[in-house]
Amino acid sequence: MVTKIDGATTCDKTERQVFETEINMGTVHPAALEPYRVRLFVEDEIVKDAEITVGLNHRGIERIMEGLPVEKANALTEKVCGICSNGHIYNSCRVGEGALGIEIPERAVYLRVLAEELERLHSHMLYLGHGSEVLCHETFAMRIFYIRESVMDLLYMMGGNRVQYGISVLGGVRPRADLNLKEQQRVLDTMDYIDEKVADFAERFIADPMVMHRITGTGELSQKQALDLHVTGPSLRATGYEYDFRTEMFEYEPFEFDIITQDGGDVRANILMRATEIFESTKIIRQVIKNLPKGPIVTRDWDLVDSPVYKSYIEVPRGVCYHSYGLEDGKVRHSIIRTPSMSNIGAMQESCIGHPIQDAQLAIVSCDPCFTCTDRAIQIIKL
């Protein structure tokens, strides 16, 4: 017999009652860094389905870019995200350089890689800190945030800001981003510090039985599910799939690094995925500093010409980021930006299913969401 009681459905099966109802989380929630809404459809506190709704942070950046001079439009893309702001201006400059046929100096290529890997370090550490907070482990959160400060200091040294550094410009990087010998040594010393401290953090984290019990087997996503949902970045590699778009970027051709993977696709795999990738980023950064070419850091030997839409993909901390636009009279036309979280929302929803309500937010956070940078486009539905 099936009956409805106050919007809930009850089903009698051999003297067992199953309650089917909907629970809303958000748009503001203590475990969420950004405003978004999660609808959980549960039976006896087990999530049977989930729906994530974004849209509260829409700022219309692509529409604002329409008609702006290309260099001003590139600078605006940093406002897409406060965590991976460098990735957006870096990719936007790549679009302009591809459209105009600009070949940037080799030293500028290395400095862009340095900035992007520093951003990957701070983003992964932010992920570990936020994940520790959701696990209600303030000690781990404070430890990793303290280590992260050393990376933020380097980004401030290169760009003059802790957020939105403005390092990339059309044709290269701006003068402040260039490093003298003393600053290069500071980067190397900081990488030694990060390797030591993050290794200690990871050992303590793994050795905590309560934490490992909570995260192992929670929020599982199979490799097939990840591929079907077009998951990207570390969340895909956490299922064991070996793919990193940096291997297809010409900027990373001079550098040796391993593609890190984990098995299981659960919260544990996602956390270990980011923690282990930190050591690959420090490896790349050391290679950048030790092999930094001499020469100019920007070229202005180019002319603004009209261009059809040009596309560019790069690997940012959360996965593959897409930018495209065309040029007309030096102004941007038809800009489109797609962030990794747009692809990963399906994984966040799927990873909640089959787990208790209290693990839903942990499963979502394990996919490293950034919904503010996802909220740029709107879909108009004709009713």
Could you give the domains of the chain? 56-354 (1.10.645.10)
Is beta strand 2-5 parallel, antiparallel or unpaired with respect to 319-328? unpaired
- Say how many CA atoms lie within 13 Å of 119 toward its Cβ: 29
For residue 251, what pLDDT is reported? 96
Helix 267-290 / helix 106-134 crossing angle, nearest 10 deg: 150
Residue bearing tokens 């701070």: 122
For residue 81, what pLDDT is reported? 86
For residue 60, what pLDDT is reported? 84
Give the integer Cα–Cα distance in Å for 61 and 56: 14
Check whether 71 is labelled as a binding-site residue. Answer: no
Helix (H, G, I), strand (E, B) or coil at 18: strand
For residue 4, what pLDDT is reported? 43
Helix (H, G, I), strand (E, B) or coil at 255: coil
Cis peptide before 282 (omega within 30 of 0): no
Check whether 102 is labelled as a binding-site residue. Answer: no
Cβ–Cβ under 8 Å, residues 307 and 315:
no
For residue 17, what pLDDT is reported? 62
What kind and span of H or E run contains 43? strand 37-43
Check whether 352 is labelled as a binding-site residue. Answer: no
As a whole number of angstroms, the longest Cα–Cα distance in the chain is 80
Could you report the average pLDDT of every consecutive run of 10 residues in the chain (383 residues)? 46 58 82 82 90 83 92 93 91 96 96 97 95 90 96 95 92 95 97 97 94 92 94 95 96 96 94 96 98 96 94 96 95 93 90 90 89 69 59
Burial label for 270, CB within 10 Å (0-12, 13-18, 19+), is buried
For residue 3, what pLDDT is reported? 42
Give the integer Cα–Cα distance in Å for 173 and 183: 16
Give the integer Cα–Cα distance in Å for 122 and 325: 29
Length of the chain: 383
For residue 16, what pLDDT is reported? 61
Other CB atoms within a 10 A radius of the CB of residue 138 amount to 11
Other CB atoms within a 10 A radius of the CB of residue 62 amount to 20
Check whether 373 is labelled as a binding-site residue. Answer: yes
Give the integer Cα–Cα distance in Å for 35 and 135: 19
pTM exceeding 0.75: yes
Residue 44's contacts (CB-CB under 8 Å, 6 or more residues apart) are 18, 19
Give the integer Cα–Cα distance in Å for 81 and 87: 9
Check whether 81 is labelled as a binding-site residue. Answer: yes
Give the integer Cα–Cα distance in Å for 115 and 123: 12
Residue type, 11: C
Check whether 321 is labelled as a binding-site residue. Answer: no
